[in-house]
Amino acid sequence: MQTIDIIQAEVPHRSATGTGRVMMEVTGLTSHYGRIKALHGIDLQVKEGQLVALVGANGAGKTTLLRTISGVQPASGGSIRFIDSDITRLRADRRVKAGICQVPEGRRVFGPLSIEDNIKLGAFTRPASEIENGLAKMFELFPVLKEKRALPAGTLSGGQQQMLAMARALMGSPKLLLLDEPSMGLAPLLVDEIFRVIKDLKAQGITIVLVEQNAHAALSIADIGYVLETGKVLLSGPGRELLQNEQVKKAYLGI
Ligand SMILES: Nc1ncnc2c1ncn2[C@@H]1O[C@H](COP(=O)(O)OP(=O)(O)OP(=O)(O)O)[C@@H](O)[C@H]1O
């Protein structure tokens, strides 16, 4: 397999909002499901304020990488440094406290619970005094959730459930937000809406790692993109440069 690294040397950082300080450094990361090796030594860097997109075909390892960063999937080798600490062996709940919040694939909201209670669940690391304020901010960001706050989460549409899952993660005041396939299964108009929210969060300075099947949309808004293939980084570079890359066009953009 050909490995081309467009950025590492010549374009260290292009985020409009980023400070250029490295927030997370993943080095030689491997992960297994039993005897199946899903990640084969991933190197990835995320700087403060950046939006980093992970794209690639089904089974490339994108979800596994996100889950290994959030700690719900163990690393079998390599390391993850977050801010000033090695978190490779840290429990998932401690990583949330450290500021890493994940919105899992498929939303996973608690259907029978009210929308408001679902959002509050995300605040388990925050003092009770901050919860009302956090809730008000989420209702500002997602007005549709405010209107329906007392209803069971299961009554929401797919796109609204995605917003709810994002609001829940944001209640943890993440330094790093991990989004797994937020546009999955959504109608085009809702996809636009979700991407608008992601751009908004980036503009607010939240650092984001975004996993997406929709490679074009993800690379269009990403500072940096990584293309994964069979558990390895095939290419990395500024999102807009990857969009112009012939290999990416053919394999992932259907051009
Ligand atoms: N629970 C599991 N048990 C065994 N193998 C798994 C499990 N989850 C994922 N895998 C395997 O690990 C590899 C990476 O899968 P992963 O779900 O991370 O890829 P992905 O890029 O996120 O794909 P998708 O877009 O389909 O979610 C694949 O070969 C997959 O079959």
User: From CA 126, how far away is CA 108, in angstroms rounded?
Assistant: 21
Question: Given strand 77-82, what is the order of strands in its sheet?
Answer: 36-47, 22-33, 77-82, 85-86
| Protein residues whose CB sits closer than 6 Å to any atom of ligand 1 | 33, 36, 38, 56, 58-64, 213
Q: What is the pLDDT of residue 2?
A: 34
Q: What is the pLDDT of residue 20?
A: 80
Q: Render each residue's pLDDT in the chain as its tens digit; 255 residues.
A: 333 333 332 233 334 445 589 999 999 999 999 999 999 999 999 999 999 999 998 899 999 999 999 999 999 999 999 998 999 999 999 999 999 999 988 767 888 899 999 999 888 777 888 888 899 999 998 998 999 999 999 999 888 899 999 999 999 889 999 999 999 888 888 888 899 999 989 998 999 999 998 899 999 999 999 999 999 999 999 999 999 999 888 887 776
Minimal-distance CA residue to ligand 1 atom 2: 33
Ligand 1 centre distance from Cα of residue 134 (Å)? 34
Minimal-distance CA residue to ligand 1 atom 24: 58
- Reading phi first (left if > 0) and then psi (alpha if -120 to 50, else beta), residue 230 is in left
Mutate to test the pocket of ligand 1, among 58, 209, 232 (most ligand atoms within 8 A of CB): 58
Ligand 1 centre distance from Cα of residue 79 (Å)? 20
Ligand 1 centre distance from Cα of residue 49 (Å)? 28
Q: What is the pLDDT of residue 155?
A: 92
194 CB-near residues (< 8 Å, 6+ apart): 159, 162, 163, 182, 183, 186
Q: What are phi and psi of 101, to 5 degrees?
A: -120, 135
Q: 167: which DSSP letter?
A: H
Domain boundaries, the chain: 4-19+49-60+100-252
109 touches 168 (CB < 8 A): yes
Minimal-distance CA residue to ligand 1 atom 25: 58
Ligand 1 centre distance from Cα of residue 5 (Å)? 24
Give pTM, 2 decimals. 0.88
Residues 223-246 as b/e (b if ≥16 CB within 10 A, e otherwise) read bbbbbbbebbbbbbbbbebbbebe
- For 247, the token pair is 């290999």
The neighbouring-strand residues paired with 114 are 152
ipTM (interface predicted TM): 0.95
Q: What is the pLDDT of residue 3?
A: 33
Q: What is the pLDDT of residue 213?
A: 87
Minimal-distance CA residue to ligand 1 atom 5: 33
- Asked: is 4-19+49-60+100-252 a CATH 3.30.70.20 domain? The reply is no
